[in-house]
Amino acid sequence: MTYNLVGTFYICPTPIGNLDDVSTRILDTLKNVDLIYCEDTRRAKKLLDNFQITTPVSSYFLGNEHKKIKEISSFLLEGKNIALISDAGTPLISDPGSELISHLVENKHDIVSIPGPSSVLVALTISGFDLSEFQFLGFIPKSGKEKIDFALKLLNSSMTSVCFTSPKRINKDILFFQEQGLNTEIVVCRELTKKFETIYRGSIDEVGEQLFGKQLKGEITLVIAAPEKEVNINYDLDSSLKVFIDNEVPKREIAKAVSNITEYSVNEIYDRIKDL
């Protein structure tokens, strides 16, 4: 049997709280596709019922994503149009779907990603921090080596970071940051775009005091400024860097090597030598 790759797969963001944030394009897409895949069919039904969308839904979550890949690919080969939504926000951001999209790309399926709500971008833009570059770190690990590694990423970062946590763990996470010596500014965003949206700002110590004793509810997104680093002019360092430059060592390699034995980041070293 011969198939034509005529089905299109749509990645469709849904509101993170305020239903008015959904776009006309998203609603038109969800109404006109043949099938919608979602994390939780019950939550999806509430959203779809609100906009009187009757498109059939099927589950796609962390536990069944592998077997669903073949099913979705088969439907696309039959010419069906399919949409993927998450419980809230943009699919694939700390949600299942990356493996699916990789498979569809590899098999040359038509994929359309529609812009829409994302708590990551909302939190970043409300933070007031430098956004010339930033890193997204997903959910803060609960414990163990993964949590220590997470803290090291923050401590060694030269850019703004954004991540998620749960309301039950936020106070423990703030305390953990304090214990690890993370001394910087932080913005805690609760229930973004919803009626009881709340923003806490300040140093980690100050925000820890603001949250102390509070039993928060709802979705939590954190934005963490890059730690301030005390950088002293080091003329011996400059002399050493010049030796590398004079011997035509690639500048990226110089930056990596010197960063390993100094307090400077790779980017700081590179910025120092890029015009030499």
Residue 53 pLDDT exceeds 90: yes
Give the model's pLDDT for residue 209. 95
Residue 152 pLDDT exceeds 50: yes
CA–CA distance, 43 with 50 (Å, rounded to integer): 11
| Mean pLDDT within 24-47 | 96
Q: Which stretches of 60-195 are DSSP H helices?
A: 65-77, 98-106, 119-127, 144-155, 170-179
Give the model's pLDDT for residue 229. 66
Give the model's pLDDT for residue 274. 82
Using 50, 70 and 90 to split pLDDT, how confident is the model at 20? very high
Using 50, 70 and 90 to split pLDDT, how confident is the model at 242? confident
CA angle 57, 90, 55 (to 5 degrees): 20
| Mean pLDDT within 91-108 | 92
What sign for the dihedral angle of Cα 84, 88, 91, 95? negative
Share the mean pLDDT of the chain. Answer: 90
CA–CA distance, 123 with 131 (Å, rounded to integer): 11
CA–CA distance, 15 with 48 (Å, rounded to integer): 12
Q: Which region among 35-39, 42-46, 232-236, 255-259 has the lowest average model confidence (pLDDT)?
A: 232-236
CA angle 126, 127, 133 (to 5 degrees): 105
DSSP 62: T
Residue 231 pLDDT exceeds 70: no
Residue 125 pLDDT exceeds 70: yes
Higher pLDDT, 100 or 145: 100
Give the model's pLDDT for residue 252. 85
Give the model's pLDDT for residue 245. 81
Residue 263 pLDDT exceeds 80: no
CB 183 within 8 A of CB 204: yes
Percent of the chain with pLDDT over 90: 71
Using 50, 70 and 90 to split pLDDT, how confident is the model at 4? low
- 74-89 residue pLDDT tens: 999 999 999 999 999 9
Residue 36: Cβ-neighbour burial (10 angstroms; 0-12, 13-18, 19+): buried
Give the model's pLDDT for residue 59. 94
| Mean pLDDT within 128-151 | 93
Residue 271 pLDDT exceeds 80: yes
pTM for this predicted structure: 0.77
Q: Where is 239: in which H helix or E strand?
A: helix 235-246
Give the model's pLDDT for residue 141. 95
Higher pLDDT, 45 or 231: 45
CA–CA distance, 37 with 247 (Å, rounded to integer): 57
Residue 195: Cβ-neighbour burial (10 angstroms; 0-12, 13-18, 19+): exposed
CB 37 within 8 A of CB 72: yes
With CA atoms as reference, report the closest residue to 84 among 101, 109, 105, 67: 101
| Mean pLDDT within 18-46 | 96
Would strands 220-224 and 160-165 be described as parallel, antiparallel, or unpaired? antiparallel
Using 50, 70 and 90 to split pLDDT, how confident is the model at 232? very low
CA–CA distance, 104 with 171 (Å, rounded to integer): 40
